[in-house]
Amino acid sequence: MMEDYMIRVLTKNKQIRALAVRSTNLVEEARQIHKTTPVATAALGRALSAVSMMIALEKSGEKIGLRILGDGPLDRVIAEANMDGEVKGFVGNPQIDIMLNEKKNEKKLDVKKAIGNGELYVRKMMGLKEPYESKIQLISGEIGEDLTYYYTKSEQVPSSVGLGVLVDTDSSVKAAGGFIIQLLPDTPEETISKLESNLNSLGSVSRLIETGITPEELLDKVLEGFSYDITKVTEVEYNCSCSKGQTLEIVNTLNVDEIKESLKEDGYVEVTCHYCNESYRYNEEYLKEHLEREW
């Protein structure tokens, strides 16, 4: 099986920064953990592919989180990535019914309908410093277009984000990946129109990935006519490094009465990590020692 990885490049004329990822295995791993239906797999897979690239636009030591809260049946899409290429996520309702929209005689999973209207949040976590979060209204619900809008409006960097997840007939992930293109300051008009023409002739990202295309070959197409240097390569994988200590944060969101009730009834409080479904049990002794709360 071909490994998943992300590359970041800079064109030799220093006018365009670009990233591309192949995330097929990581999205399939997410599907198996969360038992997502095809449309939920597509939404989660796009978000996971996005954060696996977005992190490479940040400074070292940071983590990036993407949160999409919509009024559609999927409820929410959460994804997070760190500098080591560890990516994880979940959706609010992984079991929603398959939804297809028929466009141009091609059946397409209706991610937009699954997400609905709402907001997209990007959270940057920088070690011990306060996390920085910004939000935009969803403009499409397809995630790629929303992130294009996020970078262009919120970060004021003209960008284009393409994401694709292709689900096989047996519901497994056949292909997943994507790209992010950003214009650096003072890019001349001719560069912009060449890029736009490349993007218009690109077609579906997931279909391209399905052909076995590498991130380099994907960028060769997006950046046709430009030569570039690769500035970063990171292997990416689905990995939740949660621990009993970290997951205590979830217990901390419960009120004291709920905690006491669980302790009385079961002798422990049990919480399950949203990202990997691992369960942790906390007894009274542990909670009194580790939870900074009034009892």
Summarize as ranges the residues that interact with Zn ion (CB under 5 A).
Answer: 240, 242, 273, 275-276, 278
Task: Report the nearest approach of Zn ion to the CB of residue 238 (Å).
Answer: 11
Q: How far apart are CA 266 and CA 283, in angstroms?
A: 9
Task: Report the nearest approach of Zn ion to the CB of residue 281 (Å).
Answer: 15
Pick the closer one to Zn ion by CB: 23 or 247.
247
Pick the closer one to Zn ion by CB: 44 or 175.
44
Q: How far apart are CA 89 and CA 82, in angstroms?
A: 12
Q: Taking the CB of residue 144, how many other CB atoms lie within 10 A of it?
A: 21
Task: Report the nearest approach of Zn ion to the CB of residue 42 (Å).
Answer: 23
Q: 3-state secondary structure string, 69-111? A: EECCCCCEEEEEEECCCEEEEEECCCCCCCCEEEECCEEEECH
Q: How far apart are CA 180 and CA 54, in angstroms?
A: 8
Q: How far apart are CA 157 and CA 180, in angstroms?
A: 11
Please report, for residues 33, 63, 89, 91, 149, the alpha-carbon distance to residue 276 in angstroms, rounded to integers and kept in the order given: 6, 18, 8, 12, 30
Number of Cα atoms under 13 Å in the Cβ half of residue 189: 0
In one letter, which amino acid is 31? R
Task: Report the nearest approach of Zn ion to the CB of residue 275 (Å).
Answer: 4
Ordered DSSP codes for 109-138: E-HHHHH-SEEEEEEEEETTSPPEEEEEE-
Task: Report the nearest approach of Zn ion to the CB of residue 30 (Å).
Answer: 12
Pick the closer one to Zn ion by CB: 151 or 275.
275
Structure tokens at 188: 């001349």
Pick the closer one to Zn ion by CB: 136 or 273.
273
Q: How far apart are CA 116 and CA 114, in angstroms?
A: 6
> 172: Cβ–Cβ under 8 A, 6 or more apart, which residues?
28, 31
Task: Report the nearest approach of Zn ion to the CB of residue 278 (Å).
Answer: 5
Pick the closer one to Zn ion by CB: 7 or 48.
48
Task: Report the nearest approach of Zn ion to the CB of residue 241 (Å).
Answer: 7
Pick the closer one to Zn ion by CB: 27 or 33.
33
Pick the closer one to Zn ion by CB: 13 or 279.
279
